[in-house]
Amino acid sequence: MKVAIVDYGSGNLRSAHKAFERAVREQDLDAQVVVTGNPAEVASADRVVLPGVGAFADCRAGLLAIEGMWETLDEVVRVKARPFIGICVGMQLMAERGLEYGTWDGFGWISGDVVRIEPEDPALKVPHMGWNTLSQVRPHPVLDGIELGPDGLHAYFVHSYHLAARDRAQIIAETSYGGPLVAIVARDTVIGTQFHPEKSQRLGLRLIGNFLRWRP
């Protein structure tokens, strides 16, 4: 199995690479993890990881700057139906639109827009940064064996915008920060995490391992 982590100038690539390689070792999987900015290599991968750090528009521009990368990712998901995970802004790019400093089209794999966080408690600062537990909205294989709920494991978040998903059936987990925020989305062969699994210790490694074993 080849796992391609997309390098487009945005994302914590070193941490992501190390976390996925560690999950491969700990799960005793026969998998090769590569970091690549080559669309052909992404197209040939069995699983694809799209990280992302920063603003929606900047990450979008980074993908579009690599000839054929945007189209390759869309084909990987829509046509080839390969397992795909988007992380942080990589997850936000799965939405229909990003409304950060303008209006920008996303891939449209998940229904909804990426909008600024507006906590109900004005004392809560934006960005939302730190460790939070997750609450399950619906079962999904990537959550297998992960302790959820107020006494569960914590995930690491850092973001000012969130995906306001229109179809609740596409949400599998939420977190709370002055109101509910989408933490994980899923549809068909794709999932997306607003938090950083590569920085989320036990929860993150278990989720990555579940993704690598997932047979959608």
140 counts as catalytic: no
Measured distance CA(143)–CA(164) in Å, rounded: 21
Residue 87's Cβ-side half-sphere holds a number of Cα atoms within 13 Å equal to: 30
147 counts as catalytic: no
Per DSSP bridges, beta strands 161-165 and 112-116 are antiparallel
Catalytic residue of the set 17, 128, 154, 196: 196
Residue closest to 127 by CA, chosen among 92, 152, 162, 90: 162
Structure tokens, 111: 């229904």
159 counts as catalytic: no
User: How large is the angle between the packed helices 69-78 and 56-64, nearest 10 degrees?
Assistant: 100
User: What would you measure as the largest C-alpha separation in the chain, in angstroms?
Assistant: 49
Catalytic residue of the set 17, 59, 88, 154: 88
Catalytic residue of the set 59, 100, 174, 198: 198
Residues designated as active site: 88, 196, 198
